[in-house]
Structure 1
Amino acid sequence: MGAKRGPTLRAQWLGKYLKEFRESAKLTLRQAGDYLQRDAASISRLESGIIPARVSDVFALLNLYGIGDEKIRDGLERLSRDIWRRGWWDDGYAADSLGVMFDHAWLENRAEGIRCYAAMLVPGLLQIRDYAQEVITAGGVDVPSEQIERWVEFRMDRQRVLDAELAPSIEIVLDEAVLHRMIGGPKVMCAQLEHLSEAATRSNVIIRVLPFAAGAHASPEGAFMIFDMPVPYSDVICVETRGGAVYTEAAEGVENFAQAYDSLRSAALTPDESATVIRSAVSRTKRAKGRSR
Protein backbone atom coordinates (compact mmCIF):
# COMPACT_ATOMS: atom_id res chain seq x y z
CA MET A 1 0.00 0.00 0.00
CA GLY A 2 1.36 3.45 -0.93
CA ALA A 3 1.92 6.24 1.51
CA LYS A 4 -1.07 8.42 2.26
CA ARG A 5 -0.92 11.70 0.40
CA GLY A 6 -1.44 14.92 2.27
CA PRO A 7 -3.08 18.11 1.03
CA THR A 8 -1.98 19.05 -2.47
CA LEU A 9 -0.53 22.44 -3.30
CA ARG A 10 -3.65 23.08 -5.40
CA ALA A 11 -6.02 22.44 -2.49
CA GLN A 12 -3.90 24.57 -0.17
CA TRP A 13 -3.92 27.46 -2.64
CA LEU A 14 -7.66 27.34 -3.08
CA GLY A 15 -8.17 27.17 0.66
CA LYS A 16 -5.91 30.16 1.18
CA TYR A 17 -7.93 32.26 -1.28
CA LEU A 18 -11.22 31.23 0.32
CA LYS A 19 -9.92 32.10 3.77
CA GLU A 20 -8.71 35.53 2.62
CA PHE A 21 -12.09 36.29 1.03
CA ARG A 22 -13.97 35.12 4.14
CA GLU A 23 -11.85 37.27 6.42
CA SER A 24 -12.24 40.27 4.10
CA ALA A 25 -16.02 39.79 4.30
CA LYS A 26 -15.66 39.71 8.13
CA LEU A 27 -17.46 36.37 8.38
CA THR A 28 -16.68 33.59 10.83
CA LEU A 29 -16.08 29.93 10.05
CA ARG A 30 -19.44 29.18 11.63
CA GLN A 31 -21.27 31.69 9.41
CA ALA A 32 -19.66 30.23 6.29
CA GLY A 33 -20.51 26.74 7.51
CA ASP A 34 -24.12 27.64 8.14
CA TYR A 35 -24.38 28.96 4.58
CA LEU A 36 -23.11 25.65 3.17
CA GLN A 37 -24.99 23.64 5.79
CA ARG A 38 -21.69 22.42 7.22
CA ASP A 39 -20.03 22.90 10.57
CA ALA A 40 -17.19 25.35 11.23
CA ALA A 41 -14.63 22.53 11.36
CA SER A 42 -15.52 21.52 7.79
CA ILE A 43 -14.89 25.05 6.51
CA SER A 44 -11.59 25.12 8.40
CA ARG A 45 -10.54 21.90 6.67
CA LEU A 46 -11.49 23.38 3.29
CA GLU A 47 -9.39 26.45 4.00
CA SER A 48 -6.38 24.37 5.05
CA GLY A 49 -6.65 22.13 1.98
CA ILE A 50 -7.20 18.98 4.04
CA ILE A 51 -10.55 18.54 2.29
CA PRO A 52 -10.53 19.74 -1.35
CA ALA A 53 -13.38 22.14 -2.07
CA ARG A 54 -15.88 21.17 -4.74
CA VAL A 55 -16.69 23.59 -7.53
CA SER A 56 -20.27 24.13 -6.30
CA ASP A 57 -19.00 25.00 -2.81
CA VAL A 58 -16.47 27.43 -4.23
CA PHE A 59 -19.15 29.30 -6.19
CA ALA A 60 -21.45 29.35 -3.16
CA LEU A 61 -18.75 30.78 -0.92
CA LEU A 62 -17.71 33.37 -3.50
CA ASN A 63 -21.35 34.49 -3.66
CA LEU A 64 -21.49 34.69 0.14
CA TYR A 65 -18.27 36.69 0.26
CA GLY A 66 -19.47 39.11 -2.42
CA ILE A 67 -16.79 38.22 -4.98
CA GLY A 68 -18.25 39.25 -8.33
CA ASP A 69 -15.04 39.75 -10.35
CA GLU A 70 -15.39 37.33 -13.26
CA LYS A 71 -11.62 36.97 -13.66
CA ILE A 72 -11.27 35.84 -10.05
CA ARG A 73 -14.33 33.57 -10.25
CA ASP A 74 -13.16 31.94 -13.50
CA GLY A 75 -9.66 31.46 -12.14
CA LEU A 76 -10.81 29.85 -8.91
CA GLU A 77 -13.20 27.64 -10.85
CA ARG A 78 -10.25 26.35 -12.90
CA LEU A 79 -8.24 25.84 -9.74
CA SER A 80 -11.05 23.94 -8.01
CA ARG A 81 -11.54 21.73 -11.08
CA ASP A 82 -7.78 21.09 -11.18
CA ILE A 83 -7.95 19.68 -7.66
CA TRP A 84 -10.34 16.96 -8.81
CA ARG A 85 -8.95 16.43 -12.32
CA ARG A 86 -6.71 13.39 -12.66
CA GLY A 87 -3.34 13.90 -14.33
CA TRP A 88 -1.09 11.27 -15.88
CA TRP A 89 0.78 11.13 -12.55
CA ASP A 90 -2.40 10.00 -10.76
CA ASP A 91 -3.11 7.24 -13.25
CA GLY A 92 0.38 5.78 -13.35
CA TYR A 93 1.83 6.55 -9.95
CA ALA A 94 -1.03 6.92 -7.43
CA ALA A 95 0.28 4.10 -5.25
CA ASP A 96 3.90 5.29 -5.16
CA SER A 97 5.64 7.26 -2.42
CA LEU A 98 6.14 10.37 -4.51
CA GLY A 99 4.82 12.98 -2.08
CA VAL A 100 5.24 16.54 -3.36
CA MET A 101 6.58 15.23 -6.68
CA PHE A 102 2.91 15.13 -7.75
CA ASP A 103 2.67 18.87 -7.10
CA HIS A 104 5.91 19.40 -9.04
CA ALA A 105 4.50 17.60 -12.08
CA TRP A 106 1.30 19.63 -11.82
CA LEU A 107 3.28 22.89 -11.67
CA GLU A 108 5.28 21.91 -14.75
CA ASN A 109 2.08 21.15 -16.63
CA ARG A 110 0.35 24.39 -15.58
CA ALA A 111 3.27 26.84 -15.79
CA GLU A 112 3.56 29.25 -18.69
CA GLY A 113 7.28 29.44 -18.13
CA ILE A 114 9.97 27.82 -15.98
CA ARG A 115 13.15 29.63 -15.00
CA CYS A 116 15.85 27.53 -13.40
CA TYR A 117 19.29 28.04 -11.93
CA ALA A 118 21.06 24.66 -12.08
CA ALA A 119 24.09 24.72 -9.81
CA MET A 120 25.06 21.05 -9.55
CA LEU A 121 23.05 18.93 -11.97
CA VAL A 122 21.32 19.01 -15.33
CA PRO A 123 17.65 19.86 -14.57
CA GLY A 124 15.33 16.87 -14.36
CA LEU A 125 13.34 17.83 -17.48
CA LEU A 126 16.53 17.53 -19.57
CA GLN A 127 18.10 14.45 -17.98
CA ILE A 128 18.58 11.21 -19.90
CA ARG A 129 17.56 8.00 -18.15
CA ASP A 130 21.07 6.77 -17.29
CA TYR A 131 22.05 10.16 -15.84
CA ALA A 132 18.82 10.32 -13.82
CA GLN A 133 19.43 6.76 -12.57
CA GLU A 134 22.86 7.73 -11.27
CA VAL A 135 21.61 10.93 -9.62
CA ILE A 136 18.57 9.37 -7.96
CA THR A 137 20.46 6.28 -6.82
CA ALA A 138 23.20 8.42 -5.23
CA GLY A 139 20.60 10.46 -3.36
CA GLY A 140 18.40 7.52 -2.37
CA VAL A 141 20.36 6.19 0.59
CA ASP A 142 18.80 2.94 1.90
CA VAL A 143 15.97 3.18 -0.65
CA PRO A 144 14.93 -0.13 -2.32
CA SER A 145 15.99 -0.45 -5.95
CA GLU A 146 12.37 -0.92 -7.02
CA GLN A 147 11.46 2.50 -5.60
CA ILE A 148 14.51 4.09 -7.23
CA GLU A 149 13.34 2.72 -10.57
CA ARG A 150 9.85 4.18 -10.07
CA TRP A 151 11.33 7.59 -9.28
CA VAL A 152 13.44 7.38 -12.43
CA GLU A 153 10.40 6.41 -14.49
CA PHE A 154 8.43 9.31 -13.03
CA ARG A 155 11.20 11.75 -13.95
CA MET A 156 11.24 10.46 -17.50
CA ASP A 157 7.45 10.73 -17.77
CA ARG A 158 7.56 14.33 -16.55
CA GLN A 159 9.51 15.21 -19.68
CA ARG A 160 6.44 14.74 -21.87
CA VAL A 161 5.51 18.32 -20.90
CA LEU A 162 8.25 19.52 -23.27
CA ASP A 163 6.21 18.26 -26.22
CA ALA A 164 2.78 19.27 -24.90
CA GLU A 165 0.50 21.45 -27.01
CA LEU A 166 0.87 24.25 -24.45
CA ALA A 167 4.44 23.46 -23.42
CA PRO A 168 6.00 26.00 -21.06
CA SER A 169 9.01 28.05 -22.08
CA ILE A 170 12.11 26.76 -20.30
CA GLU A 171 15.04 29.06 -19.52
CA ILE A 172 18.01 27.61 -17.66
CA VAL A 173 21.10 29.25 -16.23
CA LEU A 174 23.47 26.29 -16.04
CA ASP A 175 26.55 26.58 -13.86
CA GLU A 176 29.65 25.55 -15.81
CA ALA A 177 30.41 23.08 -13.02
CA VAL A 178 27.51 20.93 -14.24
CA LEU A 179 29.38 20.33 -17.50
CA HIS A 180 32.43 19.02 -15.62
CA ARG A 181 30.76 16.85 -12.96
CA MET A 182 31.35 13.34 -14.35
CA ILE A 183 28.12 11.61 -13.38
CA GLY A 184 27.89 7.97 -14.44
CA GLY A 185 31.33 7.98 -16.05
CA PRO A 186 32.39 9.30 -19.47
CA LYS A 187 29.89 7.22 -21.47
CA VAL A 188 26.80 8.40 -19.57
CA MET A 189 28.08 11.96 -19.28
CA CYS A 190 28.84 12.18 -22.97
CA ALA A 191 25.31 11.04 -23.86
CA GLN A 192 23.86 13.51 -21.36
CA LEU A 193 25.85 16.44 -22.76
CA GLU A 194 24.83 15.52 -26.32
CA HIS A 195 21.21 15.46 -25.18
CA LEU A 196 21.67 18.85 -23.51
CA SER A 197 23.15 20.26 -26.71
CA GLU A 198 20.18 18.98 -28.71
CA ALA A 199 17.70 20.31 -26.14
CA ALA A 200 19.16 23.79 -26.57
CA THR A 201 17.94 23.78 -30.19
CA ARG A 202 14.28 23.42 -29.11
CA SER A 203 12.14 26.48 -29.72
CA ASN A 204 10.90 26.50 -26.12
CA VAL A 205 14.27 25.88 -24.40
CA ILE A 206 17.00 28.44 -23.73
CA ILE A 207 20.22 27.46 -21.98
CA ARG A 208 22.77 29.97 -20.72
CA VAL A 209 26.01 28.76 -19.16
CA LEU A 210 27.25 30.64 -16.10
CA PRO A 211 31.04 30.43 -16.60
CA PHE A 212 33.60 29.90 -13.86
CA ALA A 213 34.99 33.29 -14.86
CA ALA A 214 31.81 34.96 -13.58
CA GLY A 215 33.15 34.47 -10.05
CA ALA A 216 30.86 35.21 -7.11
CA HIS A 217 27.19 35.30 -8.06
CA ALA A 218 23.67 35.96 -6.75
CA SER A 219 22.87 32.43 -5.56
CA PRO A 220 25.77 31.02 -3.55
CA GLU A 221 23.21 28.94 -1.64
CA GLY A 222 22.56 26.82 -4.73
CA ALA A 223 19.89 25.88 -7.25
CA PHE A 224 16.30 27.05 -7.45
CA MET A 225 13.39 27.10 -9.86
CA ILE A 226 10.70 29.69 -10.63
CA PHE A 227 7.36 28.59 -12.06
CA ASP A 228 5.68 31.46 -13.92
CA MET A 229 2.03 30.63 -13.41
CA PRO A 230 -1.11 31.90 -15.18
CA VAL A 231 -3.92 33.76 -13.38
CA PRO A 232 -5.19 33.04 -10.73
CA TYR A 233 -2.14 31.18 -9.52
CA SER A 234 0.78 32.97 -7.92
CA ASP A 235 4.28 32.37 -9.26
CA VAL A 236 6.03 29.64 -7.28
CA ILE A 237 9.59 29.12 -6.10
CA CYS A 238 10.97 25.61 -5.67
CA VAL A 239 14.15 24.91 -3.73
CA GLU A 240 15.40 21.33 -3.40
CA THR A 241 16.68 20.27 0.02
CA ARG A 242 17.84 17.02 1.54
CA GLY A 243 14.48 16.82 3.26
CA GLY A 244 12.56 17.32 0.00
CA ALA A 245 11.43 20.17 -2.19
CA VAL A 246 10.25 23.38 -0.54
CA TYR A 247 7.70 25.54 -2.38
CA THR A 248 6.74 29.13 -1.69
CA GLU A 249 4.42 31.59 -3.40
CA ALA A 250 4.95 34.48 -0.98
CA ALA A 251 5.35 37.65 -3.03
CA GLU A 252 8.48 38.76 -1.17
CA GLY A 253 10.16 35.40 -1.66
CA VAL A 254 9.29 35.22 -5.35
CA GLU A 255 10.60 38.74 -5.95
CA ASN A 256 13.84 37.93 -4.14
CA PHE A 257 14.49 34.86 -6.27
CA ALA A 258 13.40 36.64 -9.46
CA GLN A 259 16.00 39.34 -8.82
CA ALA A 260 18.65 36.70 -8.14
CA TYR A 261 17.73 34.90 -11.36
CA ASP A 262 17.97 38.12 -13.39
CA SER A 263 21.42 38.74 -11.94
CA LEU A 264 22.56 35.20 -12.81
CA ARG A 265 21.13 35.55 -16.30
CA SER A 266 23.03 38.79 -16.85
CA ALA A 267 26.29 37.17 -15.72
CA ALA A 268 25.80 34.12 -17.96
CA LEU A 269 26.91 33.64 -21.54
CA THR A 270 24.52 34.18 -24.44
CA PRO A 271 22.65 31.14 -25.77
CA ASP A 272 24.98 30.94 -28.80
CA GLU A 273 28.09 31.22 -26.64
CA SER A 274 26.63 28.65 -24.28
CA ALA A 275 25.94 26.23 -27.13
CA THR A 276 29.63 26.45 -28.07
CA VAL A 277 30.72 25.73 -24.50
CA ILE A 278 28.37 22.72 -24.30
CA ARG A 279 29.68 21.34 -27.60
CA SER A 280 33.21 21.76 -26.27
CA ALA A 281 32.20 19.79 -23.17
CA VAL A 282 30.83 17.04 -25.44
CA SER A 283 34.16 16.83 -27.28
CA ARG A 284 36.14 16.81 -24.03
CA THR A 285 33.99 14.00 -22.62
CA LYS A 286 34.23 11.99 -25.81
CA ARG A 287 38.01 12.07 -25.49
CA ALA A 288 37.70 10.89 -21.87
CA LYS A 289 35.35 8.14 -23.01
CA GLY A 290 37.89 7.01 -25.59
CA ARG A 291 40.66 6.85 -23.00
CA SER A 292 38.49 4.81 -20.64
CA ARG A 293 38.04 1.94 -23.09
Structure 2
Amino acid sequence: MPPSKKGPTLRSQWLGKHLRELRESAGLTLRDAGDYVQRDQGAISRWETGIVPARVPDVLALLNLYGVHDPAIRNALEQLSRDIWQKGWWDDYARETKTRVIDLAWLESRARRTKMYKAVVLDGLLQTRDYAREIMTANRPDYSPAKLERWLEFRASRQRKLTDDDPLLLDVVLDEATLRRMVGGAKVMRAQFAHLEDLAERPNITIRVLPFDAGAHASPLGAFTIFEMPEPYPDASHIETEAGSIYLEAESVERFALTYDCLLNSALPPEQSLAFIRALAERLSR
Protein backbone atom coordinates (compact mmCIF):
# COMPACT_ATOMS: atom_id res chain seq x y z
CA MET A 1 0.00 0.00 0.00
CA PRO A 2 1.69 3.25 -1.10
CA PRO A 3 1.88 6.07 1.43
CA SER A 4 -0.71 8.82 1.34
CA LYS A 5 -0.58 11.18 -1.63
CA LYS A 6 -1.60 14.08 0.58
CA GLY A 7 1.96 14.83 1.60
CA PRO A 8 5.06 13.25 3.14
CA THR A 9 4.44 11.17 6.22
CA LEU A 10 6.50 11.46 9.37
CA ARG A 11 7.96 8.03 8.59
CA SER A 12 9.16 8.99 5.11
CA GLN A 13 10.61 12.25 6.46
CA TRP A 14 12.56 10.34 9.10
CA LEU A 15 13.94 7.89 6.53
CA GLY A 16 14.90 10.71 4.19
CA LYS A 17 16.66 12.59 6.97
CA HIS A 18 18.77 9.51 7.79
CA LEU A 19 19.68 8.96 4.13
CA ARG A 20 20.66 12.60 3.63
CA GLU A 21 22.88 12.62 6.72
CA LEU A 22 24.60 9.40 5.65
CA ARG A 23 25.18 10.72 2.11
CA GLU A 24 26.66 13.95 3.40
CA SER A 25 28.87 12.07 5.87
CA ALA A 26 30.20 10.02 2.96
CA GLY A 27 31.03 13.22 1.06
CA LEU A 28 28.79 12.31 -1.88
CA THR A 29 26.47 14.47 -3.97
CA LEU A 30 22.90 13.86 -5.07
CA ARG A 31 24.27 13.09 -8.53
CA ASP A 32 26.68 10.50 -7.10
CA ALA A 33 23.83 8.74 -5.33
CA GLY A 34 21.55 8.96 -8.36
CA ASP A 35 24.16 7.50 -10.69
CA TYR A 36 24.72 4.56 -8.33
CA VAL A 37 21.05 3.55 -8.11
CA GLN A 38 20.28 4.64 -11.70
CA ARG A 39 17.98 7.49 -10.73
CA ASP A 40 18.24 11.18 -11.46
CA GLN A 41 19.32 13.49 -8.65
CA GLY A 42 15.77 14.84 -8.37
CA ALA A 43 14.59 11.38 -7.31
CA ILE A 44 17.24 11.22 -4.60
CA SER A 45 16.23 14.68 -3.40
CA ARG A 46 12.58 13.60 -3.17
CA TRP A 47 13.62 10.55 -1.15
CA GLU A 48 15.65 12.70 1.23
CA THR A 49 12.80 15.15 1.80
CA GLY A 50 10.29 12.35 2.25
CA ILE A 51 8.09 13.52 -0.62
CA VAL A 52 8.52 10.09 -2.18
CA PRO A 53 9.74 7.36 0.19
CA ALA A 54 12.61 5.16 -0.94
CA ARG A 55 11.87 1.48 -1.29
CA VAL A 56 13.85 -1.21 0.50
CA PRO A 57 16.16 -2.23 -2.41
CA ASP A 58 17.10 1.40 -3.02
CA VAL A 59 17.74 2.00 0.69
CA LEU A 60 20.04 -1.02 0.88
CA ALA A 61 21.87 0.05 -2.28
CA LEU A 62 22.44 3.54 -0.90
CA LEU A 63 23.72 2.13 2.39
CA ASN A 64 26.27 0.11 0.41
CA LEU A 65 27.34 3.23 -1.47
CA TYR A 66 27.63 5.24 1.74
CA GLY A 67 29.80 2.58 3.35
CA VAL A 68 27.30 1.76 6.10
CA HIS A 69 28.16 -1.73 7.34
CA ASP A 70 26.88 -1.57 10.92
CA PRO A 71 24.16 -4.27 11.08
CA ALA A 72 22.13 -2.29 13.62
CA ILE A 73 21.92 0.79 11.37
CA ARG A 74 21.22 -1.25 8.24
CA ASN A 75 18.50 -3.31 9.91
CA ALA A 76 16.90 -0.25 11.46
CA LEU A 77 16.69 1.70 8.20
CA GLU A 78 15.52 -1.35 6.29
CA GLN A 79 12.73 -1.81 8.84
CA LEU A 80 11.82 1.86 8.63
CA SER A 81 11.55 1.60 4.85
CA ARG A 82 9.38 -1.50 5.12
CA ASP A 83 7.20 0.20 7.71
CA ILE A 84 6.50 3.09 5.35
CA TRP A 85 5.10 0.79 2.70
CA GLN A 86 3.35 -1.65 5.01
CA LYS A 87 -0.40 -1.19 5.23
CA GLY A 88 -1.85 -0.42 8.67
CA TRP A 89 -5.47 -0.09 9.77
CA TRP A 90 -5.12 3.72 9.61
CA ASP A 91 -4.48 3.61 5.84
CA ASP A 92 -8.19 2.99 5.30
CA TYR A 93 -8.69 6.60 6.42
CA ALA A 94 -5.72 8.11 4.58
CA ARG A 95 -7.69 9.49 1.64
CA GLU A 96 -10.21 11.21 3.89
CA THR A 97 -8.01 13.26 6.17
CA LYS A 98 -4.74 15.06 6.57
CA THR A 99 -1.58 12.97 6.64
CA ARG A 100 -0.73 14.35 10.09
CA VAL A 101 -3.77 12.65 11.65
CA ILE A 102 -2.64 9.33 10.20
CA ASP A 103 0.85 10.00 11.58
CA LEU A 104 -0.70 10.28 15.05
CA ALA A 105 -2.28 6.82 14.82
CA TRP A 106 0.98 5.38 13.50
CA LEU A 107 3.00 6.90 16.35
CA GLU A 108 0.59 5.45 18.90
CA SER A 109 0.97 2.03 17.28
CA ARG A 110 4.78 2.10 17.49
CA ALA A 111 5.57 4.07 20.65
CA ARG A 112 7.17 2.37 23.63
CA ARG A 113 5.48 4.87 25.92
CA THR A 114 3.26 7.90 25.45
CA LYS A 115 3.08 10.79 27.90
CA MET A 116 0.48 13.52 27.59
CA TYR A 117 -0.81 16.61 29.29
CA LYS A 118 -4.40 17.58 28.44
CA ALA A 119 -5.60 21.05 29.38
CA VAL A 120 -9.09 21.57 27.88
CA VAL A 121 -10.70 18.29 26.80
CA LEU A 122 -9.77 14.65 27.21
CA ASP A 123 -7.55 13.04 24.61
CA GLY A 124 -9.21 10.85 21.99
CA LEU A 125 -7.58 7.76 23.48
CA LEU A 126 -9.53 8.33 26.70
CA GLN A 127 -12.92 9.38 25.36
CA THR A 128 -16.16 7.43 25.44
CA ARG A 129 -18.08 7.37 22.19
CA ASP A 130 -20.72 9.80 23.48
CA TYR A 131 -18.08 12.22 24.77
CA ALA A 132 -16.23 12.01 21.46
CA ARG A 133 -19.42 12.65 19.53
CA GLU A 134 -20.11 15.82 21.53
CA ILE A 135 -16.55 17.09 20.99
CA MET A 136 -16.58 16.38 17.26
CA THR A 137 -20.02 17.88 16.74
CA ALA A 138 -18.98 21.10 18.47
CA ASN A 139 -15.62 21.28 16.70
CA ARG A 140 -16.79 20.25 13.22
CA PRO A 141 -20.43 21.24 12.71
CA ASP A 142 -19.86 20.81 8.96
CA TYR A 143 -19.49 17.03 9.30
CA SER A 144 -22.29 14.95 7.85
CA PRO A 145 -23.73 12.19 10.08
CA ALA A 146 -21.92 9.60 7.96
CA LYS A 147 -18.56 11.38 8.25
CA LEU A 148 -19.05 11.83 11.97
CA GLU A 149 -19.61 8.10 12.39
CA ARG A 150 -16.56 7.40 10.28
CA TRP A 151 -14.35 9.46 12.60
CA LEU A 152 -15.87 7.95 15.69
CA GLU A 153 -14.78 4.59 14.26
CA PHE A 154 -11.28 5.98 13.68
CA ARG A 155 -11.07 7.13 17.29
CA ALA A 156 -12.31 3.74 18.55
CA SER A 157 -9.67 2.01 16.43
CA ARG A 158 -6.95 4.16 18.00
CA GLN A 159 -8.18 3.16 21.45
CA ARG A 160 -7.69 -0.56 20.78
CA LYS A 161 -3.95 -0.04 21.24
CA LEU A 162 -4.65 0.44 24.96
CA THR A 163 -6.07 -3.05 25.38
CA ASP A 164 -4.41 -5.29 22.80
CA ASP A 165 -1.85 -8.01 23.54
CA ASP A 166 1.02 -5.51 23.46
CA PRO A 167 -0.69 -2.43 24.92
CA LEU A 168 0.57 1.10 24.73
CA LEU A 169 2.12 2.35 27.98
CA LEU A 170 0.24 5.59 28.63
CA ASP A 171 0.95 8.24 31.25
CA VAL A 172 -1.57 11.08 31.46
CA VAL A 173 -1.78 14.34 33.37
CA LEU A 174 -5.28 15.81 33.22
CA ASP A 175 -5.82 19.42 34.12
CA GLU A 176 -8.83 19.74 36.41
CA ALA A 177 -10.45 21.84 33.67
CA THR A 178 -10.78 18.74 31.48
CA LEU A 179 -12.86 17.09 34.20
CA ARG A 180 -14.94 20.11 35.13
CA ARG A 181 -16.03 20.85 31.56
CA MET A 182 -19.57 19.47 31.16
CA VAL A 183 -19.32 17.86 27.75
CA GLY A 184 -22.74 16.50 26.77
CA GLY A 185 -24.31 16.91 30.20
CA ALA A 186 -24.33 14.89 33.40
CA LYS A 187 -25.17 11.52 31.85
CA VAL A 188 -22.32 11.67 29.35
CA MET A 189 -19.88 12.85 32.01
CA ARG A 190 -20.84 10.13 34.50
CA ALA A 191 -20.11 7.51 31.85
CA GLN A 192 -16.88 9.27 30.95
CA PHE A 193 -15.73 9.33 34.58
CA ALA A 194 -16.53 5.62 34.93
CA HIS A 195 -14.48 4.97 31.79
CA LEU A 196 -11.52 6.89 33.21
CA GLU A 197 -11.73 4.82 36.39
CA ASP A 198 -11.65 1.62 34.33
CA LEU A 199 -8.66 2.85 32.34
CA ALA A 200 -6.79 3.93 35.48
CA GLU A 201 -7.05 0.40 36.84
CA ARG A 202 -5.23 -1.06 33.85
CA PRO A 203 -1.51 -1.78 34.52
CA ASN A 204 -0.37 0.02 31.37
CA ILE A 205 -2.19 3.30 32.10
CA THR A 206 -1.45 5.93 34.74
CA ILE A 207 -3.74 8.93 35.19
CA ARG A 208 -2.91 11.92 37.35
CA VAL A 209 -5.00 15.04 37.95
CA LEU A 210 -3.48 18.53 38.06
CA PRO A 211 -5.87 20.37 40.41
CA PHE A 212 -6.70 24.04 40.19
CA ASP A 213 -5.21 24.67 43.61
CA ALA A 214 -1.79 23.61 42.27
CA GLY A 215 -1.65 27.16 40.95
CA ALA A 216 0.78 28.19 38.21
CA HIS A 217 2.34 25.22 36.45
CA ALA A 218 4.95 24.30 33.84
CA SER A 219 2.72 24.26 30.75
CA PRO A 220 0.67 27.47 30.66
CA LEU A 221 0.54 27.31 26.85
CA GLY A 222 -1.49 24.11 26.85
CA ALA A 223 -1.58 20.45 25.91
CA PHE A 224 1.11 18.29 24.36
CA THR A 225 2.03 14.64 23.84
CA ILE A 226 5.42 12.91 23.96
CA PHE A 227 6.09 9.66 22.08
CA GLU A 228 9.03 7.62 23.34
CA MET A 229 9.95 5.57 20.28
CA PRO A 230 12.05 2.44 19.70
CA GLU A 231 14.96 2.44 17.26
CA PRO A 232 15.24 3.57 14.49
CA TYR A 233 12.61 6.22 15.22
CA PRO A 234 13.47 9.38 17.14
CA ASP A 235 11.33 10.40 20.08
CA ALA A 236 8.68 12.92 19.03
CA SER A 237 6.37 15.46 20.58
CA HIS A 238 2.97 16.45 19.24
CA ILE A 239 0.97 19.66 19.55
CA GLU A 240 -2.53 20.10 18.16
CA THR A 241 -3.41 23.50 16.70
CA GLU A 242 -6.28 24.96 14.71
CA ALA A 243 -4.01 24.78 11.67
CA GLY A 244 -3.31 21.08 12.24
CA SER A 245 -0.85 18.84 14.03
CA ILE A 246 2.76 19.81 14.67
CA TYR A 247 5.43 17.16 15.31
CA LEU A 248 8.81 18.03 16.82
CA GLU A 249 12.01 16.09 17.52
CA ALA A 250 15.40 16.35 19.22
CA GLU A 251 15.84 19.27 21.62
CA SER A 252 12.14 20.12 21.46
CA VAL A 253 11.26 16.70 22.85
CA GLU A 254 13.71 17.19 25.70
CA ARG A 255 12.01 20.47 26.55
CA PHE A 256 8.59 18.82 26.64
CA ALA A 257 9.96 15.94 28.72
CA LEU A 258 11.26 18.42 31.31
CA THR A 259 7.91 20.21 31.31
CA TYR A 260 6.09 16.91 31.81
CA ASP A 261 8.28 16.00 34.78
CA CYS A 262 7.48 19.37 36.34
CA LEU A 263 3.76 18.75 35.82
CA LEU A 264 4.10 15.40 37.59
CA ASN A 265 5.52 17.19 40.60
CA SER A 266 2.42 19.40 40.74
CA ALA A 267 -0.16 16.71 40.01
CA LEU A 268 -1.91 14.45 42.49
CA PRO A 269 -0.58 10.89 42.85
CA PRO A 270 -2.51 8.23 40.91
CA GLU A 271 -4.52 7.03 43.92
CA GLN A 272 -5.59 10.54 44.91
CA SER A 273 -6.32 11.34 41.27
CA LEU A 274 -8.66 8.39 41.01
CA ALA A 275 -10.40 9.48 44.21
CA PHE A 276 -10.73 12.98 42.76
CA ILE A 277 -12.44 11.61 39.64
CA ARG A 278 -14.76 9.43 41.72
CA ALA A 279 -15.76 12.41 43.84
CA LEU A 280 -16.71 14.37 40.75
CA ALA A 281 -18.76 11.44 39.49
CA GLU A 282 -20.59 11.16 42.81
CA ARG A 283 -21.55 14.84 42.69
CA LEU A 284 -23.17 14.28 39.29
CA SER A 285 -25.18 11.37 40.70
CA ARG A 286 -26.85 13.41 43.45
Unaligned runs of 5+ in 2: none
Hey, what does 2:264 align to over in structure 1?
265
Task: Count residues in correspondence.
Answer: 283
Displacement, 1:272?
A: 0.6
Displacement, 1:257?
A: 0.5
Provide the aligned C-alpha RMSD in A: 1.3
Distance 2:154 2:53 in 1: 25
Hey, what does 1:140 align to over in structure 2?
140
Q: In terms of mean alpha carbon deviation, does 171-180 or 93-102 score higher?
A: 93-102
Hey, what does 2:114 align to over in structure 1?
114
Hey, what does 2:7 align to over in structure 1?
6
Displacement, 1:5?
A: 2.0
Hey, what does 1:240 align to over in structure 2?
240
Hey, what does 1:157 align to over in structure 2?
157
Distance 1:88 1:152 in 2: 14
Cα deviations by residue, 1:193-237 (Å, 9 ceiling, x for unpaired): 110111100010000111111100000000000000001111010
Q: Is 1:44 matched up with 2:45?
A: yes
SS at match of 1:100: helix
Alignment of structure 1 residues 64-79 onto 2, 5 Å = 64-79=65-80
Unaligned runs of 5+ in 1: 288-293
Distance 2:82 2:165 in 1: 20
Identity of aligned residues (%): 57
SS at match of 1:172: strand
Hey, what does 2:283 align to over in structure 1?
284
TM-score (norm 2): 0.96
SS at match of 2:96: coil
Displacement, 1:139?
A: 1.1
Distance 1:6 1:178 in 2: 33
Distance 2:99 2:12 in 1: 14
For residues 51 and 93 of structure 1, do their structure 2 counterparts lie closer, same or farther at Cα, with a shift above 3 Å needed?
A: same
CA contact (8 A) 2:9 2:99 kept: no
Displacement, 1:122?
A: 1.4
TM-score (norm 1): 0.93
Alignment of structure 1 residues 76-95 onto 2, 5 Å = 76-90=77-91, 92-95=92-95
Alignment of structure 1 residues 166-185 onto 2, 5 Å = 166-185=166-185
Which residue identity is paired with 1:174? Answer: L
Which residue identity is paired with 2:49? Answer: S
Distance 1:147 1:50 in 2: 28
Cα deviations by residue, 1:26-47 (Å, 9 ceiling, x for unpaired): 1100000000000000000111
Distance 2:251 2:141 in 1: 35
